[in-house]
Amino acid sequence: MHLKDRRILLTGATGGLGSALAIELAKAGAKLGLVDTEYDQLGQLYDKIHPLTDVTTCLADITELRAQQNIIHDMYSAFGGTDILINNAGIKEFIEYTEQKPAMMERLLKVNVIAPMQLTRLLLPEMLSRESGHIVNIGSPFGSTASAFFTAYSASKFALRGFTEALRRELDSTMIKVSYISPRGIDTPINGQALFNMAKAANLQMDAPDDVARIIVKAIEKEKKEVYIGLGQSITNRVNGIIPRLTDFFVSRKNRIMRQYTHHP
Ligand SMILES: NC(=O)c1ccc[n+]([C@@H]2O[C@H](COP(=O)([O-])OP(=O)(O)OC[C@H]3O[C@@H](n4cnc5c(N)ncnc54)[C@H](OP(=O)(O)O)[C@@H]3O)[C@@H](O)[C@H]2O)c1
């Protein structure tokens, strides 16, 4: 599907991956509705995108039902509707589970799972009546191979992947596409200093947001159902799906390194 003049709603638009995606989508000629929580950053992104394509911004916390409704309404006012929803906003915590604060755990699940599900639910009637539409959920390797010290985040991305798969099967007889795209580690602010320190110690590479954004835009154009970026990650996911005990064995050393970094940011 060509993205020229497609009306795309992108959450987490001012984040590391979101802003790279916004620019790639704008270059492809899409009309953009950009959603995020920071007024100044949204303004700066608008200034970059505006010369490239039609764009509207929406300052919103996507966990609030009223905000979700406003976002859909803003897209309708600006462009007459939404063709593609990219559920990109996300939060992550690198922490021992016993240290996890209940409020943060609840927020993480709301941002990473409930909000994407709600936005999708609000948009589906419009897409179904038009007989076209595409829901794109940005997942994570931890949505297929859960990781110690990312327990709530892993749970949230497993849930997002399950939601994507179930909805895709439910909408199988319609023209609506539902995709799950799993980037591997990206050099963005979601990975706080402790995680960057750990990644350095464990010799883990991080992808550049621009490169990942280009892969995601291509995947959307080709209407891919599932994309797992990185061969190593894809193999790990498959092995973990079949023999999770093998993964337990291989990650045990990495877990010892990770534990140190949760306490020493
Ligand atoms: N970076 C990685 O290593 C990596 C790897 C695999 C998958 N991913 C996924 O990629 C997606 C994008 O992450 P990123 O790396 O670009 O992280 P990021 O730079 O932290 O961007 C995430 C964006 O989401 C926004 N956001 C968070 N909560 C929100 C809310 N309630 N309402 C509206 N916006 C909200 C954040 O805004 P504030 O900063 O104002 O809260 C931020 O702009 C996430 O779904 C993440 O799980 C990332």
Q: Could you give the domains of the chain?
A: 7-263 (3.40.50.720)
Burial 228-243 (b: 16+ CB within 10 A, else e): bbbeebbebbeebeee
The model's confidence at residue 261, banded by pLDDT at 50, 70 and 90, is: confident
- For residue 64, how many C-alpha atoms fall within 13 Å in the half-sphere facing its CB? 10
Q: Where are the beta strands (DSSP E) in the chain?
A: 7-11, 31-36, 55-59, 84-87, 133-138, 176-182, 226-228
> Span 53-71, mean pLDDT?
98
- Condensed to tens digits (0 to 9), the pLDDT of residues 219-260 reads 999 999 999 999 999 999 999 999 999 999 988 888 888 888
Instruction: Give the SS3 label for residue 210.
Output: helix
- Condensed to tens digits (0 to 9), the pLDDT of residues 84-93 reads 999 999 999 9
Looking at the annotation, which residues are catalytic? 153
Q: Tokens in use for 161?
A: 């992947």
The protein residue with its alpha carbon nearest to ligand 1, atom 2, reads 186
Beta-strand pair 55-59/31-36? parallel
Please give the mean pLDDT across all residues of the chain. 95
Ligand 1 geometric centre to CA of 174 (Å): 30
The protein residue with its alpha carbon nearest to ligand 1, atom 20, reads 190
User: What distance in Å separates the CA atoms of residue 145 and residue 237, rounded to the nearest whole number?
Assistant: 6
User: What distance in Å separates the CA atoms of residue 119 and residue 74, rounded to the nearest whole number?
Assistant: 13
| pLDDT surpasses 60 at 265 | no
Which numbered atom of ligand 1 lies nearest the CA of 17?
16
Which numbered atom of ligand 1 lies nearest the CA of 111?
31
The pLDDT of residue 29 is 97
Q: Tokens in use for 213?
A: 């954004």
| pLDDT surpasses 80 at 125 | yes
Q: Distance of CA 260 to CAs 95, 194, 195, Å?
A: 10, 10, 11
Name the region of 221 (left: φ>0; alpha: ψ -120 to 50; beta: rest).
Answer: alpha
The pLDDT of residue 263 is 65
The pLDDT of residue 200 is 84
- Condensed to tens digits (0 to 9), the pLDDT of residues 167-207 reads 999 999 999 999 999 999 999 999 988 888 888 887 888 99
The pLDDT of residue 203 is 80
**Is the CB of 36 inside a 6 Å radius of any atom of ligand 1?**
yes
The pLDDT of residue 198 is 86
> Span 110-125, mean pLDDT?
98
- Look at the block and give the residue holding tokens 């297929």: 144
Which numbered atom of ligand 1 lies nearest the CA of 206?
3
